[in-house]
Amino acid sequence: MKARRKLEELKDAKWDAFGSKDCFVEAVENCLHSVNFNETNRQRSRHKRDSSEKPDLSERRNALYQKVVAPLSRLAVVGFEGSDEPPLIRIPNEVHSKSISANGNKELQNSWGEIHHAHSSFLSGPSESEGGFFPHLQVIAGHINRCRRLANTAKPIRVAILDTGCQKELDFFKDNRRSKRLRGWKDFTMAGSQSAIDTFGHGTFMARLLMHVAPIVDIYVIRVAENTEDLQDHEQNIVKAIVHAGLDPEWKADIISMSFGVPNERKKEYKAISDAIDKVTKERDGSVLFFAAAGNSGIRQENFPASHEHVISIYATNSDGDFLGSNPSQPHDGPKLLGAYGTDIPSFIKEEIQTPFPKADLSAGSSIATAIAAGVAAMMLSYVAALPTLLNFKSAETECAKLHTKNGMQQMLYVMSALKGHKHCFINPIGFWGEKGKDMEVFTAVCAAVDQIKG
């Protein structure tokens, strides 16, 4: 084809004083591959989609943005590096000349190399025996930790887990580096335990998963029920927990994770919970993130509080990003759905939980996905806290701060997602980071995300 011949000519052409030609070539090449607008790279590496399944207009627009507009956006930011030609989007010269990331920092270069290797390994298929997708997520966490250290960013992100408690004697938590991350405890059940306890196992499982994904954040645990079956009967405990996690001066969690829910048709019975979420959101000027499990009903609507307007609802996927059949049903014209890993948890992690909790319910579903999604969000907040210093670009703080809001983080998760069928967005941090080459590209993605915030 003539177009492909011209593309090859473009690739071979030498553009003097233009160091970012690849961004332009990437955008042009993506335009020529119609498959970019039908399925994701990960899907193509695994299986062929049913030819009758066509993305709707909004999905095609999203693909166009990710595959064409985003590379051109990066080009607009960096401009003609190494020449006198200015970028289209003005970023001060010191971002390029003085930033840690731009100065060829060997440690960061090696770190990006590890991310790309992890991405390639993941595309070939995560091995359950080697920990599934977890080792790849930990490579990303390692990069973020290096960025924070180089930027001297000390204040950790805080995540509150509302559940059945936490058993600190779990082998995983005995490592001093992990035990010190369990920073806060509160028990609103009748037991009122002053020390961390869990007699059911669900809360311990959620804390274990979240810390594995986000090893550098501080975790605060609130026991709202002794088991998951009793959660529906403990509305006031949940109300107290939400207010305490969000407004207590010594807590003020950045993220509140709730791996539970009640049928949405009963949400009017739980108005006090809705009011508590509204109260915390208002008093924090919107700078607090709530995550909740969409549910595992298969036919009902998503659960409450996942359905609350200030809460990010999380659905469950397998390690390929395919949404599980146990997820709640949604109308065809409903909003885009966010899904995270909700199954394929390595057996050694399950065995670790089942040893002290032989009857613990560790089944696949949105509870697991919520803990993992909250961990991914916590790591993103941990990263953007260091990014302005890393880029020597103080003005970046304004854009990065927007990820602390529900709309900002939700848009960021969409940007990090791979489209899996009709409005099914699989949160794919491994793919997101693996397709980047430097920290400025991540900042460009952050800008693209917050630019989508409506109102």
Enzyme catalytic residues: 163, 202, 367
d(CA 316, CA 409): 18
Residue 65: DSSP 8-state: I
Which amino acid would we find at residue 177?
R
Burial class (CB in 10 A: 0-12, 13-18, 19+), 109: exposed
Q: Tokens in use for 55? A: 């993305």
Q: Which residues of 195-227 are buried (b: 16+ CB within 10 A; e: fewer)?
A: ebbbbbbbbbbbbbbbbbbbbbbbbbbbbbbbb
Which amino acid would we find at residue 180?
K
Q: In this structure, how many other beta carbons lie within 10 angstroms of the beta carbon of residue 313?
A: 28
Instruction: Tell me the Ramachandran region of residue 10: left when phi exceeds 0, alpha when psi lies from -120 to 50, beta otherwise.
Output: alpha
d(CA 143, CA 139): 6
d(CA 83, CA 85): 5
**Residues 277, 154, 151, 216: is their CA dihedral positive or negative?**
negative
| DSSP line for 103-165 | GT-HHHHHHHHHHHHHHHHHHT---GGGTTTHHHHHHHHHHHHHHHHHTT--PPPEEEEEES-
Reduce the DSSP state of residue 228 to 3 states and report it: helix
Q: What's the CA dihedral at 28, 30, 33, 38 to 10 degrees?
A: -150
Which amino acid would we find at residue 438?
K
d(CA 209, CA 224): 19
What is the separation of C-alpha 331 from the centre of its chain, rounded to a whole number of angstroms? 24
